[in-house]
Structure 1
């Protein structure tokens, strides 16, 4: 039948009027809405892209499943940063054209349909719901997917979306919570879809008031870690993206890793519909995964920006703290309605994301992906 219809409040054109107001404000507009990176792509990535520009994987058709070097780089990345041995748990990988494509096509590639139910958090990235709708399956929104009693006995549940660190709330699940989700999903034959795109952007030291090491990288618990999946990737798929860790949003570099039988089936379909990362970009992706020093630099940038933004939002009157993870500050609207707050913020030139986009119209999301100068200028305006 093809793609089914979808409906969503997630439409950036809805904030166009607020942007016009913000642009007319003294000093112009500061956009803290879309989480689009603004910092340089690492030198290692740009060099790898250039070197690979005339490789066989460039002038010939690229490999859907990823070059041997890219697949090795993904395995190395999991081992070094996530404490996961893909081979030991019988996991496979497939690159995707950005993580959004991977999310949006997931339910369709898993062959979900009319009587199938996909569980997701009520407050979450909108594409989970859109992807389920495109497949013609049913969406079940719950307050907390870690509360497995809220979905385990619901007829027809075929998959559960997990997002830790969460966009937009910044919440991070513990290994125990992740393990509980995996165990409950396996009991009913459902697949765990773990969106871990912000896994290396966690701020627990800052949340707990500790200084932490700005040069260190600490991962949040992975659904494929031994203590979570009990040594088997069966029924577990993890998504990751280089958009934020390496400022590669425009490169469209992401991947799915997990259950080898599910990956094999999805890869076969992906090959037929041409969902393939260009060859030179695969080389750039491998370089980005291996260049952890650049990731540490970016991690420090975001930690500093988030700290400044949190302090500024407090000065403006929002009740907020440093998020546990991800790159956003999630606040309850002072007026109780995101659109009313959006209007007031636009008058001082600041644009946030309306919480309605993520299922919570009484909240707003502020992104720390703006430049240091933009964050500093926003802080000045918010403190007046």
Structure 2
């Protein structure tokens, strides 16, 4: 048997290291617009909840506390328009990347099975398929896929990296097609609360799922909405049978969200004021960066939601990365997300106001 890592592509971010070093050598320092990691403070009420739960000597449960499950179902009903969710319809997970990477394995997929995901996509969808030994398959339109062998269909709206938002009708068609062919749908909705020029809709909304959660699961994260990437706080909502199977497997695997993080999640989902405040920060940064990059000759496509601008100068993406690195600005090359992104870069607006202003000034210098 060869090493499992031999199934996987080169870790993409390692390829960016030389450009990061060049950008860091800028006299005024690097402006890192690449990874998209939150930089603003964790809201006080969340830190307080975490600290208050710090005396947690016992093991937490994989399913989470009843208070956590109440918070998950309540938020999904309030924010997503989901109806009649019970505790069996939710499951906390240790960050959404862990879930994406290991889901095909936990579903029992393997050789002969296919995992489908958008042509431009978060690279961990492919990684998850390869870890399980399944076949990764890309699509432009999910309903045009050959359904033979497809066991898992990933939807992603708002999209990472493009920021594209699928309409309720597009989601409804995809769900109906998947149900017709007995294909499980997982909808990555981690950027749903960050719509700018469109209002993202959840796959759990009755207009999409018809009031039934059969065969569909939504993935949500607190990393971006609440600045909790360091907490690894995420959850699933949807088909109780699917989540019940995952719960059983994850119990055996010890995949438990830490007790203080569970308490912090309850606090985060119970408060909307900090989400609105963070949205305002991102809206300012987005507007400033969009104006600056367009003024520097970039064309922005999609980007109607999420934390990124999907931009091009109609040149190879690594040429763009190299040129910006000389100005001390680091962005992500579009081919990290698939060959279709080879002439684009992804620009995160998660830097501080001061760093965003620095990027704007450097772009204006030409």
TM-score, normalized by length of structure 2? Answer: 0.95
Shift of 1:273: 1.0
1:98 pairs, out of 77, 80, 95, with 95
Q: Give the conservation status (yes or no) of the 8 Å contact 1:164–1:172.
A: yes
After superposition, the C-alpha distances for 1:249-268 in whole angstroms (9 at most, x for unaligned) are 00000011111011011111
What are the equivalent positions in structure 2 for 1:313-328 lying under 5 Å apart? Answer: 313-320=293-300, 323-328=303-308
- 1:361 aligned residue: 342
Counterparts of 1:107 and 1:353 in 2: how far apart (Å)? 27
Q: Secondary structure at the match of 2:127?
A: helix
Aligned residues: 362
Q: Give the conservation status (yes or no) of the 8 Å contact 2:293–2:363.
A: yes
Q: Give the conservation status (yes or no) of the 8 Å contact 2:310–2:345.
A: yes
**1:68 corresponds to 2:69:** no
Shift of 1:318: 0.3
Q: Secondary structure at the match of 1:296?
A: helix
**1:301 corresponds to 2:281:** yes
**1:202 corresponds to 2:200:** no
Counterparts of 1:10 and 1:221 in 2: how far apart (Å)? 32
Counterparts of 2:78 and 2:113 in 1: how far apart (Å)? 37
What are the equivalent positions in structure 2 for 1:248-287 lying under 5 Å apart? Answer: 248-287=228-267
What are the equivalent positions in structure 2 for 1:75-90 lying under 5 Å apart? Answer: 75-87=73-85
Which 4+ runs in 1 deviate beyond 4 A? Answer: 1-5
**1:370 corresponds to 2:325:** no
- Stretch deviating more after TM superposition (354-363 or 245-254): 354-363
- 2:319 aligned residue: 340
TM-score, normalized by length of structure 1? Answer: 0.91
Q: Secondary structure at the match of 2:103?
A: helix
Shift of 1:288: 0.6
Counterparts of 2:88 and 2:256 in 1: how far apart (Å)? 20
294 and 358 in structure 1: CA distance in 2 versus 1, 3 angstrom threshold: same
Counterparts of 1:285 and 1:86 in 2: how far apart (Å)? 21
Q: Give the conservation status (yes or no) of the 8 Å contact 2:114–2:136.
A: yes
142 and 175 in structure 1: CA distance in 2 versus 1, 3 angstrom threshold: same
Counterparts of 1:10 and 1:331 in 2: how far apart (Å)? 23
**1:352 corresponds to 2:331:** yes
- Give the aligned CA root-mean-square deviation in angstroms: 1.7
After superposition, the C-alpha distances for 1:296-330 in whole angstroms (9 at most, x for unaligned) are 10111111111111101001110126721100001
After superposition, the C-alpha distances for 1:145-187 in whole angstroms (9 at most, x for unaligned) are 3xx1x21x33111111110000000000011110100000000
- Stretch deviating more after TM superposition (18-27 or 63-72): 18-27
Structure 1: unaligned runs, 5 residues or longer: 206-218
